[in-house]
Structure formats: structure tokens, C-alpha cells
Chain A
Amino acid sequence: MADVTVVGQGIFLRGSIRGEGDLEIRAGSRRRRGGRRGDDRRRRSGESRRDGAPHHGSRRGRRKSDGGGRRPARRGSARRRRREGSVDRHLGGSLLRGNVQTGHGAEAQKGRAPRRGEAGRPDRDAQGSGRRRDEGQRCHAPRGRVGRASGSAASRRSCPEEGRSRRLAQTLAMSDSRARLIALLRDRSFERKKVILASGKESDFFIDCKQTVLTAEGHALVGELMFEALDKLPACRAVAGVELGGCPLASAVSLVSFQKGRPLPASTYARNRKITVRSVSSRATARSCPACRSSSSKTSSPPAARR
């Protein structure tokens, strides 16, 4: 057996590697953070354990389900152990247990074995999901950061499969943004009154989007929602706003597209004026947008194309 210590990024972990590559990582010092505390599975199975050092060389207490790791010794009454909560409940004081040779292992999450590559996956979603960012981070962070033992066990248990929860978070964020934008439009732009439209028809409500789109929040929400809406359309490489109402829309979408790593230049044009090719040609956009420069060349696969 060899002791290992992991230090970095505000994390201090201690652990050990035993024969056959079984690795166990505990948090902090052994005295303060479990390491010797209880394990409900052992308790449930009725297996009693003499107090003392972990049994070296013995295969007793080893389970295939958690990657073959070994539990440390426990101390204290069952009731006290039940009170302990946090990670101690799940892996007997371990934050991570696994085998360095086979790559199998389990984090402190009900002993579930993560899929390959899951543990280290960066939390990309939390960046892009806007107003639901908090929830997203709470949900994904514990998997990416092994050393975070302080999160409550309940929040971890409620975290569903990563892919599903990411899609759910995105959908929730979108519906949230949409609801907020409509609330803003109702408040600032909408009016129930008879109006004569540009087409000559009469309508029973008036809406002036500009009053919403030019607020800071409205601008951000419009950019976010319209950028997401582009996913439902064939791939595009620029957005065009019709003067005058479409101009801030194009601006907002272009801004969001850059922030999301898929830059789409904006162009605006007058509805009735003759459009010069130059104002919207790929050459003009390529000149104004460095990110599109490579895609305007004669290559067959434009890198800036969406999707």
C-alpha cells in the first residue's frame, strides 16, 4: 500500500493505492473528515468490523460493484453515523474509489460507477444556460470536481443523468427567457387599442417592440432566444435585420452568437431601398468579421457555418 496526497485548486485530498491498483481518496485530514467513519452498505449487510487499521492483504469487505475498493474502518454508533450525512454515507468516507488499472471507479454519489470520461467532463452547459446557471452548476459540478465534499447529499441525489439534465436545463432556461421576454413586451410594448397597420388593415392591439428590445434585459433576451431559434432553420452564416425594427434584433443575435462561439455577422438594410451587393456580400462581411475570413474563401467546408 502506498499513500497518495492530491493538492491543488483548493483541494486537499489524501488516499492510498493498494495492490492491484485499488485507489481510494479521502477528503482532508483523517481526523476531521471521515476516513474512519461508517458505511451504510456495510451496516446494512450486517457485517461487523473490528475497530482498527484497514485490513491489508485481506480481500474481505471488497465489492465488485464499487470497483473493488476497500472501505476504511468505522467508528461510532449507527445512529451517529446516520446523522453524518454528506459523502460518508455513500462511500464510507471516501470521495473517490476505483482502480487505476481498469479505470473503473465510483465517486461519492451512491456508489454509482460513472461512465467513461464522465468524471472529468468540463461543465460546459453552465456557461451557456443563462439564467439557469446556478441550477446547472449545482447539478454538474460535483462530478467534475472530485474534491467538493461540502455539497449536500440531497442535491446530489436529485441530479439525474447528465445529458438529460443538461437538455432539461436548456429547455427550462429557454422557456424562462421566453416568459420573461413576453412579460417585458406586455409591460413596455403592448397596448390594447385599435390601430391601423402599415398594410391598411385595422388591428385590435398595438405593439412597439423597440421599447422592449432596446432595454438592456430585453436586448439580451431577444439575442438569446432568436439565436436559439436559428437552430430550427437551415444553417446560416449571417443574420439580416430589416430597417428599422430588425436592426437591434440583428445586433443582439450577432452579439450572442459571438459569445456562444459561433459568430454570425449582422447586416441591416432598408425595406424599400435597392440593396447593393456589397452591403451583404460575403466579401463585405469577411472584411468586417475576422472570424468569417476563413469561411469566405473557396473551401468546401466553411468552418463558421452553423451546425
Chain B
Amino acid sequence: MAAFGRRNVLLALLAAAMVLPAVANVYHLFIANLIVVYVLLAIGLNILVGYAGQLAFANAAMFGIGAYATGLLQVRLGWSFWLAFPGGALLAALVGLALALPALRLSGLYLALSTLAFAQATQWVFLHWESLTFGAGGFKTPALSFAPLPIDKPHGLYYLSLALLVALFLFAQNLVASRVGRAFVAVRDGEVAAQSLGIDLLRYKALAFGISGFYAGIAGGLYSAMLNFVAPEGFDLFQMVLQKAMIVVGGLGSITGSLLGAGLVIILLEALRAFKGLQEIVFGALLVAFVLGMRGGLVSLLKRHLRGWEEPLRLAQPAPPLVRARPLEVPAGGREQ
């Protein structure tokens, strides 16, 4: 295996993430935790958009549902975080499953619009159902404690997030290289052909939506614990654009790409935080550059330049040279597609 193979690079990143708290200040730790949260969001979204091909705009809303549910289950029902957190993630997954129903009949722009409408409706509920959600002002969540473990909240939460990320990264990585992952790609590349091979559209769309909902719900729960506060602002359309940008920059249809894209975008935004105007300009330029110049995202760059970088689904491999000893066939009747 090459020194810069995917596995080695990922292990090196993980090692860096493990020792980071030893050298980081509170702010750096917060940013690192934020990156972990966004990587989770990007992985879930990439499974839905990059693999299953469902152009949905509800991930920011699912993120919000995870955060709100985790917070409200603690505040309203008095649950502990350790119950409310998985509860919130499951709720987001269930909402995701329900979103698959419209996705069965809609695709492309129509799916984008209907999921956008759902996201706006969710935003409206966060803002205006004050007796449940505390309205525009948001609400404070109970302080999270890792007692009896001898670890303070920022460090504990960081390592919890990291552990969840490792588990969910591996799960996603295994999934996309399996029968289920291929079924997602089949649904993306041709619904009619996929069905003719026995792939149930509803089942696999629901799975993709449910998984992305679950990942967003986990991310939302962690995010609410990071801030100790939940408010409607974080889960709006800009949030959605941010997540889409991450998977485009990292590489659609790549789990590792989700990680790289989320990391790069967050670091860039934070590095430019001091220059408010510049932040938006650079973010916009980055998006345009990747959409126009590098459709495959960062991952395609790595594949081209790092020997031994291999993506699980073989489609990501560079095409073998087409010049071979055997002549290419030319169809007589035309109709080449």
C-alpha cells in the first residue's frame, strides 16, 4: 500500500485529531468539534445526494430537528442528554424516512422545491410554535456533564463527537461499497433500469433519506450540546448551501470527500472570519471554481496525483487507457448514446 494511500492519510488525520486537544486552546477545540459536526452532516448529505442522487434541500432542517429534539427532550420532558441525544437522532431519521414518500414521485427540481418548502416550514415551526420551541429567542439547554469521568465538557464532547464520527464514517464507507451502496447509485443513474433488476425504489430512497436524517440528527444533537443553546438561525437556507458546498468541494459520491470538503470549508471560513466581506467572496469563488473547474472535487485531485489513493466504489478509479490493441467498434446504424 502506498504511503499516501487513502487509509494512511485518514489514519494520520485521526491521530492528529486525537492529540489536538493537548495543544489546542478552547477556541481551536471548538472549531475542531465544529468540523466533526459538519463532517457528519456532509457524509449524510453525500449519501443522499452524491450516491442516491436525490437533490434534496432538507438537510439543514434535519440538522435543526436533531438539535431542537435533543434540546427540547431535556428541557420540556426532563430527559438526560444521554437519552435525548439518540432520541433526537432517531426523530430526525424518522422525518427523513417520511420525506422519501414525496421523493418517490418527484425528482430533480421538483424534489428540490418540495424539500425546500419542507425546510421553510420547519424553520417556521422553530420560530412560531413558541409554546414548544421558545420562538425566535431560542432556549438554553442544561449543562452537559461527563461525570464521573474526569474530563471537562469541551474535551468530553470533542472525544464523544470524534468517536461517533469514526464509527459513522466506517459505517458509511462499508455501506457505499456494498450491495446497498450500489443500489443507491443504480437509483441515481437510472430508476427504470434499477427497478428492472429488482431494486425497490421506495425502499432505497427511504434508506438514503433516513440515513442522511440520522447523520444530521446526530450532528444536531452534538451541536446543541456544543453551544448549550438552540435557536432557529443556524438551520436556515445558508446552512443548506454551506453543506452542499462541502460535498461539492470534497467530491460528490465520496465519503472521504465529505470529510475533506467539510474540513476545508470550515477552516477557510474561520480563517477569514476577521475579514467579513472577504469571507463571502472567497467562499463564492471556491464554489464557482469547483463547479466549473473540478467537478469531482478534492477527491478527484487526490486520485489523480496520489498513487494508491483508491475509492471504495470502483467507479472512482480513473478510466484505463482507451488505446488498446483491439479496435473500437463503430455502430453501423448510428444512434450512439
A binds B: no
B residues whose Cβ falls under 8 Å from a Cβ of A: none
A residues whose Cβ falls under 8 Å from a Cβ of B: none
